[in-house]
Amino acid sequence: MGCSPITRKRENFIVVTSKPSKKKCSLKTENKENLGIRRSQTKNLKIKENDLEIKELIENKEIKTEENNGKISNTMGDVNDDKGKDKEKDNTEKIMNVKIITDENPFIRYEKISLLGRGNVSEVYKVYNKDNGKYRAMKIIDKLSPKYKPNLYNQIIKEISVLNSLDHFNILKNFEVYDAQNNLYIINQLCSPIELFEKLQGDKIFSELKTANIMKQIISAINFCRLKGIAHRDLRLEKILIDSQDDISNEIFNIKILNFINCEYFEKNKLTELIGMPYYIAPEVLKGSYTEKCDMWSCGVIMYTLLCGIPPFFSENDDEVIELVKIGKFNNNPHEMKNVSKEAKDLIKSLIKIDVDKRLSSEEALNHPWFKIMTEKIHGLNKSSNTKIQQIIENIKNFCPKKSLLYTFAYLIFNFSNKNETNELRIIFNEFDTDNDGRLNKKDFALGLSKVIPIGDAEKEVNRIFNYIDADNGGYIEFQEFLMATFDTKNILSSDNLRMCFKSFDIDNNGEIDIKEIEESLGKKLDINDWNDLLEIIKPSKYGSLNFDEFVKVMKLLLRND
Residues with catalytic annotation?
Answer: 234
CA distances from 197 to 11, 204, 213, 241, 305 (A): 23, 10, 16, 9, 10
Length of the chain, in residues: 562
Which residues in 457-486 are b (16+ Cβ under 10 Å) and which e? ebbebbeebbebbbeeeeebbbbbbbbbbb
Long-range contacts of 544-550 (CB under 8 A, 24+ apart): 544/514, 544/515, 545/512, 545/513, 545/514, 546/512, 546/513, 546/514, 547/511, 547/512, 548/498, 548/499, 548/502, 548/511
Residues 6+ apart with CB under 8 A from 400: 468, 559, 560
Q: Do 313 and 283 touch, CB atoms closer than 8 A? A: no
Closest CA to 9 of 168, 120, 140: 120
Closest CA to 119 of 177, 44, 39, 191: 39
Q: Is 491 left (phi over 0), alpha (psi -120 to 50) or beta?
A: alpha
What is the spatial distance between Cα 310 and Cα 329, in angstroms, rounded to a whole number? Answer: 14
Q: Do 545 and 511 touch, CB atoms closer than 8 A? A: no
| Residue type (1 letter), 141 | I
